[in-house]
Amino acid sequence: MLIKYRIKYLTLLKEMAKEKLIIKNFAGFEHIEFDFKPINVFIGPQAAGKSIVIKLAYFFKSYLEGVGKLNSLPFEQYDQYYQKIFFKYFPSGSWNDKEFEITYSIEDKISITVKGGKYSVMNINFSPFMEIFKQTVTDGIELFKKAEDDTNSLKSRHFIGKEALRIRSSFKLPKVLEHIQYFIPAGRSFFSNVQSNIFSLLQNENSLDPFLLEFGSYYEHAKDLQDFIDSYIEDDDNFKSVNKISSDIIKGNYTQDEGQDFIAQQDGRKINLLNASSGQQEALPLILFLQSIINSHLSTLYIEEPEAHLYPDAQKKMVQLLARVYNSANSQLFITTHSPYILAAFNNLIEASNIIKNKPELAEKVYNIIPKEEVIKVENLIAYSIKDGKRTVLLDEENNLISQNILDDVSNEIGAEFGKLLDLEFGE
């Protein structure tokens, strides 16, 4: 009966998906809060804390993803494991002297709080709902163990196995927490220098940034899938478009030869990735990974600097590619960027949705400009500017677009400076 009560309580929260992250006294933030949506874009100067925010989201949501899989570790050990992960992602040398508190929550029911400091013990605390959830998982694990031990009764094993599956399927977590988490870090050009040696690097966990290490295994898998993807393109219009956009970004197509990575360029040349441009080296791992999950469902992607080393028109196409992944794979996106072109490109996709909503009779004409697979509803996106430990929401509620202020400020500053120089030149 106790298990059934817990399952009923969990069912009430199935459709809730409002996410919030609160950071206090951590990584340069005194107190800052973020609400998350299906698409989350963070812009700001270097070292402003954009990556810290999405890495914290990745940490908390990965924890919940693991719990939902009925992890066989006792929760005490599971929590200890994630404490080690926290230290790996956020080394204590970079912490403030004050004690910090970081909380990830969904609808104020599901919440996890990490507390700690340089001079205190770190601990993980949970909301009452999460305590019930954890106990339900523990009960499920015990049922699995009984099924494994009761080797003399196939009927008993079958019953307990069915009961365990019922419990797992009845957790009723919000869909966003059923997502598989993928972190795609900046510095992806690193992989152009290792290529066939990547497996030996992946085995040496202490030699790499943990996020590069994790992404390296995704990237290798994505490369292995390329032959399958190439054959699939012929029968899938969305794949054809994705492949065309990808080719436009890297100015060619990916190919392998004797364990080496090449880009067969549009002018007929075949360039080893080691000798390719910095933009190609940075973009290719991201593109191959996105192609590998384009039709997958329930994934959350954390992408640092998708625009890195790309010309503005290629940045626009990268946003088109991300929009297709979002729309086709029911994904959630977290994106950090330094580029106002990324925001401007998202604005075009949002404006297409605004027009269709207000004037549905124009839909087909809109789709001739912005393909249906790339249209994004404004209610599914939030954009933040992060600077000096503060954040600003960039959505303009009056016109339902990303605010132009962040796009114009630097241009205005450059223009004002140029005006002063002209004044000097012409003696005004």
* Per-residue pLDDT reduced to its tens digit, 375-424: 999 999 999 999 999 999 999 888 899 987 766 677 788 888 888 888 88
Residue 343: pLDDT above 80? yes
- Crossing angle for the helix pair 50-68 and 128-149, nearest 10 degrees? 40
In this prediction, residue 1 has a pLDDT band, given cuts at 50, 70 and 90, of: very low
In this prediction, residue 9 has a pLDDT band, given cuts at 50, 70 and 90, of: very low
Residue 25: pLDDT above 90? yes
Query: pLDDT digits over 110-133, tens only?
Result: 888 999 887 767 888 888 877 777
> Which residue type, as a one-letter code, is found at position 219?
Y
- To the nearest 10°, the Cα dihedral for 319, 321, 327, 331? -80
Residue from 64, 335, 44, 36 nearest 186 by CA: 335
Number of domains in the chain: 1
> Which residue type, as a one-letter code, is found at position 331?
S
Whichever domain contains 321, its CATH number is: 3.40.50.300
Q: What is the pLDDT of residue 111?
A: 86
Other beta carbons within 10 Å of 151: 9
- To the nearest 10°, the Cα dihedral for 5, 11, 16, 22? 30
In this prediction, residue 425 has a pLDDT band, given cuts at 50, 70 and 90, of: confident
Distances (CA, A) of 220 to 48, 232, 305: 31, 19, 20
Q: What is the DSSP letter of 192?
A: G
Which helix (H) or strand (E) segment holds residue 105: the answer is strand 100-106
Distances (CA, A) of 142 to 46, 61, 88, 152, 154: 48, 24, 30, 18, 17
Q: What is the DSSP string of 127-163?
A: -HHHHHHHHHHHHHHHHHHHHHH-TT-HHHHHHHHHH
Domain that holds residue 400: 2-426
How far, in Å, CA of 70 to CA of 68, rounded?
Answer: 5
| Cβ contact 313:245 at 8 Å | no
Alpha helix segments (H runs only) across 192-262: 198-203, 210-224, 226-233, 237-250
In this prediction, residue 7 has a pLDDT band, given cuts at 50, 70 and 90, of: very low
Here the tokens at position 157 are 């094993």
Stated pTM of the model: 0.86
Residue from 93, 100, 94, 90 nearest 120 by CA: 100
pLDDT (average), residues 85-97: 84
How far, in Å, CA of 260 to CA of 273, rounded?
Answer: 8
Q: What is the DSSP letter of 107?
A: T
pLDDT (average), residues 327-333: 87
In this prediction, residue 286 has a pLDDT band, given cuts at 50, 70 and 90, of: very high
| Cβ contact 29:389 at 8 Å | yes
Q: What is the DSSP letter of 268?
A: S
In this prediction, residue 225 has a pLDDT band, given cuts at 50, 70 and 90, of: confident
Q: Find the length of the chain.
A: 428
